[in-house]
Chain A
Amino acid sequence: MSVKIGLEIHCQLTTLRTKLFCPCSSDYRDKEPNQLVCPVCFGVPGTLPVLNARAVEYAIRIGAALNCKTASETSFYRKNYFYPDLPKGFQISQYDKAGGMPIAYDGYVQLERKKFRVRRIQLEEDPGKLTYEGTIEKSSYSLVDYNRAGIALVEIVTEPDFESAKEAKVFLEKLRSTVEALGVSDGELEGAMRCDANVSVDEGGRVEIKNISSFKEVEKALNYEILRQSTFTKSSDNHVNETRHWDERRSITISLRLKEGEQDYRYFPEPDLPAVVLSEEFVERVRVETPEVPEARANRYVRDYSLTAQVAMELSRNAALSRLFEETVAIHRNGPDVANWITGESRAEVQKTLMGPGRETLPRRLAELLAMISQGKMTRVQAKEVFRGMLAKGESASSLAGQVGGVVTDEVVIGEIVGRVLRESGAEEARTNPKAFNYLVGQVLRAERRADPRVVAKLLRQKLEPGDNS
């Protein structure tokens, strides 16, 4: 069985302050109905749209992150249809036919070894929201809240490159983390990311599925649809192009039974908005200001700081930890060392500190601590204690160093402890097994946490040498 799935994702640019074409606040969630409206987004006759500059920048960011080409000039089109939630009787959108040019096009997303092509990325406005008294079926009228009308949406359209519902789901999750990392959308907000899908099984008809409310539902809806279509493989029904509606409650898709060719959106260029020229300088500036997505950042860490892929990814997924890492490694130039301290056992405390007032000075303080270790002014065991103190109290490494005492390097003192440990634990295995050797070092350090580990190791090695019976 061959399955082809294409996705059409609508992503609200939730970090914008205003709507796409008017300066009304875009913070519409949990607001009284019809309070965030003005003559423009309410579609009052005579008003005109004025494009939000930052919305254009954000769409370019998404395009760049999905490896798209950015248009040198982009234009808006009217998509004409009627519905009570649509204030103007058309939606201002973009179009990739008849001379139209969306903001970004021809991109891809790489997941494991497979590339999923992105056809286009464009800006458009959200319609208002319909509610009903009682249920949709029983209500004799509908009620409209236009607070959402005019909210900026980015539409991302993929090629039909997905071969299973699982692949689609992985793509969507990756997309969500990408837009979050780009600082353009919080995909967790209710209704911030919505998805339509088209599915065809064994070269059959192309079926559009609309009204999938969340990414969780996408996988369910797609699996249902694949099953439904594959049971029709031998029948003639298989070659019908149609639009179906995902019924979340019943977990099935329902045909919308549209009349033949009923949807004719009559796209044409929006005469109230001149084409927007996206100069090379402008696009470059947007790229420079765009936060790095986690994958790109992790690759850079592996390349420039010799981190392992796993540690690099762990840091990259978190913007605050990444910043701490980069600021610290700029002073203390040992990448793996810095990364291990940040992602190690105190990670929770580190993250807590990064949300408080100690955040600003932490890179300098951590670098100082690591320098003291490498200069032998402090043992790692001591340093762990100091680090915890630093995080909790916001003090510097040097001011806390006194409290953990100095480093003991006296070979007589340490030699005594080494002897005791060897008597208690036995030495045979440690002669050949490095793990056993390290265990012995640990035992010594437990007995005297100030002991310089380099001296401990040296003395242990001497005493384990054959012929030394002292």
Chain B
Amino acid sequence: MARLGPSVREAVLRVGAGELSCEEHVASRLERMPRMDRDVHAFLHVAGEQAVLAARELDQKVKRGEKVGRLAGIMIAIKDNICVDGMPATCASKILEGFQPRYDATVVERVRREGAIIVGKTNMDEFAMGNTTTTGAFGPTRNPWNLERVAGGSSGGSAAAVAGGMTTLALGTDTGGSVRCPASYCSIFGLKPTYGAVSRFGVIPYANSLEQVGAFARHADDLRLLFEVISGHDRRDSTSARERGTVEPPAMKGLKVARIREFFGEGINERVRERVLDASSKLEELGATVEEVSISSLGYALAAYYIVAMAEASSNLSRYDGVRYGASLEKGSADWNAAFAKTRTDCFGAEVKRRILLGTFVLSAGYYEAYYLKAQRARSLLRSAFSRAFKKYDLLLGPTMPTLPPKVGERMTPLEDYLADVNTVPANLTGVPSVSVPAGFADGLPVGMQLMATHFAEETLFRVAGAYEEVTA
């Protein structure tokens, strides 16, 4: 596993100085990719030719003595629900088979502009609905640390590609933990930014009010760099935040951290708890004061999250009717009701259908108030509880996932599956930024520590994650 290695900034300096031929580097890594990815299955599409071409252009730029971007020559993988001009974007769904967007998502535009080399599109749970990357139509992704285990999800392909050394950086999306969960299971750094910090333009939505594009890296500083590149206001996304001045983050010494009591309670794996408590002690050694806080409205979080996410998803997924893009079934002369239903029934997977039905239900007449509106009220309660907590503490801490990565194919009921998201969804409901930091191993499987900060305080997260990385790596 490529836990260590040079930082992205170092590599970019070498590229800029012409010490390294990008083309050779990229070509040789791409050549090894099929073998490396045979068992893991992180990629749905490898952009071999385009990547080599982009690397060659970069080399020529360096030769001409031109300035290179902040990610020059760095390989980056893109989750398959983020649009890259001229590459497929299936969301791991049969319903988008054949769909090739002819535009770049804003985040893709930004990494390209900084010289990053896009190596391909990564596997995911179908339409990002899951935490295992096993629900997609094109087979599961496996954990590079242990091929019997899942890589986590829904951005499992991106996490596994970074952890497996197939790419340096990767982008994913995090609607309820979809970056942090696989980052935790794959022992890398994963960031879910503040809601609005990163443009969603070009991201095929699962639940618009909850999700953000997130980043994967092997070092905290790489995560910071990638965040700096992809964040910023975008006029094409009305929910994108205006630029804010940077606030000097608190120093490590005297940093006020609170462990969330609810995250260490019922349902947590004992070995996971030990590892995360160890990590929390490490922060104390680094000069932080660690207390415990209880946030009772967290009891609503998981239900509120699933109600809102499913409601939005049921509407987002209505556009897939087989008329304008993607799957086209032979419909004969069926009327439109039957034809739409045939396409959708044949091409959506079981979990997607379940969430569409539930989302339809919670919005339907007579149930909207009891489910959707109540969930939004619960969300507001949680938001105020979080803002109270962040008046007192710089960081909130807990395990990213309550358990170790399950086995591929392990039978669970849908509800049991949802329960694994209990610690990650609060950041999405409240919009605060959150990272998952590798916190060692239990029974040979990775454990992740989750840190949350107040809105737009990503820098605090990077500092603490970086300090922790330095003393533990």
Judged by CB atoms under 8 Å, the answer to whether A and B touch is: yes
Contacts from A to B (Cβ < 8 Å):
39, 42-51, 78, 80, 82-84, 87-90, 98-99, 140-142, 144, 261, 264, 266-268, 271-274
- Contact: B238 with A266, CB < 8 Å? no
- Contact: B236 with A80, CB < 8 Å? no
Are A89 and B202 CB-contacts (below 8 A) given A45-B89, A271-B209?
Answer: no
- Contact: B315 with A46, CB < 8 Å? no
B323 contacts chain A at the CB level, 8 A cutoff: yes
Distance in Å: Cβ of B348 to nearest Cβ of chain A: 13
Which of A43, A48, A84, A142 has the most chain B CB atoms inside 10 A of its CB?
A: A48
Are A268 and B318 CB-contacts (below 8 A) given A44-B325, A98-B368, A144-B323?
Answer: no
**Separation of A42 and B324 alpha carbons in the complex (Å):** 8
> Given contacts A144-B323, A272-B208, could you give 6 more A-B pairs where the C-beta distance is less than 8 Å?
A44-B324, A46-B204, A80-B315, A98-B368, A264-B365, A266-B368
B300 contacts chain A at the CB level, 8 A cutoff: no
- Taking a contact as CB atoms closer than 8 A, the residue among A46, A50, A89, A144 that contacts B238 in the complex is A50
- Taking a contact as CB atoms closer than 8 A, the residue among A48, A78, A142 that contacts B237 in the complex is A48
- Contact: A268 with B363, CB < 8 Å? yes
- Contact: A274 with B321, CB < 8 Å? no
User: Nearest chain-B residue to A38 (Cβ)?
Assistant: B103
- Contact: A274 with B202, CB < 8 Å? no
Distance in Å: Cβ of A256 to nearest Cβ of chain B: 14
B111 contacts chain A at the CB level, 8 A cutoff: no
Task: Find chain B residues with CB under 8 A from A144 CB.
Answer: 323
Interface set, chain B 69-118, CB cutoff 8 A to A? 81-83, 89, 91, 96, 99, 101-103, 105
- Contact: B105 with A46, CB < 8 Å? yes
Interface pairs A-B: 9 shortest CB-CB: A89-B318, A266-B363, A271-B208, A271-B209, A140-B333, A45-B204, A46-B202, A89-B319, A46-B83
Distance in Å: Cβ of A122 to nearest Cβ of chain B: 18
Task: Find chain B residues with CB under 8 A from A80 CB.
Answer: 314-315, 318, 363
B203 contacts chain A at the CB level, 8 A cutoff: yes
- Contact: A268 with B311, CB < 8 Å? yes
Are A89 and B321 CB-contacts (below 8 A) given A45-B101, A272-B238?
Answer: yes
Are A268 and B336 CB-contacts (below 8 A) given A39-B103, A46-B203, A50-B236?
Answer: no
**Separation of A274 and B431 alpha carbons in the complex (Å):** 15
Task: Find chain B residues with CB under 8 A from A274 CB.
Answer: 238-239
Distance in Å: Cβ of B328 to nearest Cβ of chain A: 13
- Contact: A268 with B315, CB < 8 Å? yes
Are A45 and B96 CB-contacts (below 8 A) given A84-B336, A272-B238?
Answer: yes
Q: Can you list 10 A-B contacts (CB < 8 A)? A: A44-B103, A45-B99, A46-B89, A47-B202, A50-B236, A51-B238, A88-B319, A89-B315, A89-B319, A271-B239
Contacts from B to A (Cβ < 8 Å):
81-83, 89, 91, 96, 99, 101-103, 105, 200-205, 207-209, 235-239, 311-312, 314-315, 317-321, 323-325, 333, 336-337, 340, 360, 363-365, 368-369, 372-373
- Where chain B touches its partner, the secondary structure class is loop
**Separation of A156 and B205 alpha carbons in the complex (Å):** 32
Task: Find chain B residues with CB under 8 A from A50 CB.
Answer: 235-236, 238
**Separation of A139 and B183 alpha carbons in the complex (Å):** 53
- Contact: A82 with B321, CB < 8 Å? yes
- Contact: A48 with B315, CB < 8 Å? no
Are A48 and B318 CB-contacts (below 8 A) given A39-B102, A82-B340, A87-B324?
Answer: no
- Where chain A touches its partner, the secondary structure class is loop
Task: Find chain A residues with CB under 8 A from B311 CB.
Answer: 268
Task: Find chain B residues with CB under 8 A from A49 CB.
Answer: 238
**Separation of A49 and B337 alpha carbons in the complex (Å):** 27
Task: Find chain B residues with CB under 8 A from A89 CB.
Answer: 315, 317-321
Task: Find chain B residues with CB under 8 A from A272 CB.
Answer: 208, 237-239
**Separation of A272 and B316 alpha carbons in the complex (Å):** 11
- Contact: B208 with A268, CB < 8 Å? no
- Contact: B318 with A88, CB < 8 Å? yes
Distance in Å: Cβ of B379 to nearest Cβ of chain A: 12
Distance in Å: Cβ of B233 to nearest Cβ of chain A: 13
Task: Find chain B residues with CB under 8 A from A51 CB.
Answer: 238
Distance in Å: Cβ of B280 to nearest Cβ of chain A: 35
**Separation of A142 and B323 alpha carbons in the complex (Å):** 11
Distance in Å: Cβ of B64 to nearest Cβ of chain A: 34
User: Nearest chain-A residue to B333 (Cβ)?
Assistant: A140
Task: Find chain B residues with CB under 8 A from A48 CB.
Answer: 200-201, 236-238
- Contact: A84 with B323, CB < 8 Å? yes
User: Nearest chain-B residue to A88 (Cβ)?
Assistant: B319
- Contact: B321 with A84, CB < 8 Å? yes
Task: Find chain A residues with CB under 8 A from B207 CB.
Answer: 271
- Contact: A273 with B202, CB < 8 Å? no
Are A266 and B360 CB-contacts (below 8 A) given A46-B203, A80-B315, A87-B324?
Answer: yes
**Separation of A268 and B309 alpha carbons in the complex (Å):** 12
- Taking a contact as CB atoms closer than 8 A, the residue among A47, A90, A98 that contacts B315 in the complex is A90
Which of A43, A47, A144, A274 has the most chain B CB atoms inside 10 A of its CB?
A: A47
Distance in Å: Cβ of A51 to nearest Cβ of chain B: 7
**Separation of A45 and B369 alpha carbons in the complex (Å):** 29
**Separation of A39 and B204 alpha carbons in the complex (Å):** 12
Distance in Å: Cβ of B205 to nearest Cβ of chain A: 7
**Separation of A87 and B319 alpha carbons in the complex (Å):** 6
Task: Find chain A residues with CB under 8 A from B102 CB.
Answer: 39
User: Nearest chain-A residue to B361 (Cβ)?
Assistant: A266
**Separation of A177 and B83 alpha carbons in the complex (Å):** 46
Task: Find chain A residues with CB under 8 A from B360 CB.
Answer: 266
Distance in Å: Cβ of A230 to nearest Cβ of chain B: 31
Are A46 and B321 CB-contacts (below 8 A) given A82-B340, A266-B360, A274-B238?
Answer: no
User: Nearest chain-A residue to B127 (Cβ)?
Assistant: A45
Task: Find chain B residues with CB under 8 A from A266 CB.
Answer: 314-315, 360, 363-365, 368
User: Nearest chain-A residue to B99 (Cβ)?
Assistant: A45
Distance in Å: Cβ of B127 to nearest Cβ of chain A: 10
**Separation of A50 and B106 alpha carbons in the complex (Å):** 15
User: Nearest chain-A residue to B326 (Cβ)?
Assistant: A45
**Separation of A46 and B128 alpha carbons in the complex (Å):** 13
**Separation of A49 and B237 alpha carbons in the complex (Å):** 8
- Contact: B238 with A268, CB < 8 Å? no
User: Nearest chain-B residue to A21 (Cβ)?
Assistant: B238
Distance in Å: Cβ of B361 to nearest Cβ of chain A: 9
User: Nearest chain-A residue to B344 (Cβ)?
Assistant: A82
User: Nearest chain-A residue to B91 (Cβ)?
Assistant: A45
- Taking a contact as CB atoms closer than 8 A, the residue among A46, A47, A82 that contacts B318 in the complex is A82
Task: Find chain B residues with CB under 8 A from A273 CB.
Answer: 238-239
- Contact: A268 with B325, CB < 8 Å? no
Distance in Å: Cβ of B43 to nearest Cβ of chain A: 20
Distance in Å: Cβ of A418 to nearest Cβ of chain B: 80
- Contact: A83 with B336, CB < 8 Å? yes
Task: Find chain B residues with CB under 8 A from A88 CB.
Answer: 318-319
Distance in Å: Cβ of B190 to nearest Cβ of chain A: 22
- Contact: A44 with B101, CB < 8 Å? yes
**Separation of A469 and B301 alpha carbons in the complex (Å):** 112
Task: Find chain B residues with CB under 8 A from A46 CB.
Answer: 81-83, 89, 101, 103, 105, 201-205
Task: Find chain A residues with CB under 8 A from B208 CB.
Answer: 271-272
- Contact: A45 with B319, CB < 8 Å? yes
Task: Find chain B residues with CB under 8 A from A83 CB.
Answer: 336
Distance in Å: Cβ of B333 to nearest Cβ of chain A: 4
- Contact: A268 with B200, CB < 8 Å? no
Task: Find chain B residues with CB under 8 A from A82 CB.
Answer: 318, 321, 336-337, 340
User: Nearest chain-A residue to B105 (Cβ)?
Assistant: A46
Distance in Å: Cβ of A222 to nearest Cβ of chain B: 29
**Separation of A187 and B373 alpha carbons in the complex (Å):** 39
**Separation of A140 and B334 alpha carbons in the complex (Å):** 8
Are A98 and B373 CB-contacts (below 8 A) given A82-B321, A87-B324, A89-B319?
Answer: yes
Distance in Å: Cβ of A134 to nearest Cβ of chain B: 13
Distance in Å: Cβ of A408 to nearest Cβ of chain B: 73
**Separation of A373 and B207 alpha carbons in the complex (Å):** 75
Task: Find chain B residues with CB under 8 A from A142 CB.
Answer: 336
**Separation of A125 and B282 alpha carbons in the complex (Å):** 56
**Separation of A266 and B372 alpha carbons in the complex (Å):** 11
- Contact: B319 with A261, CB < 8 Å? no
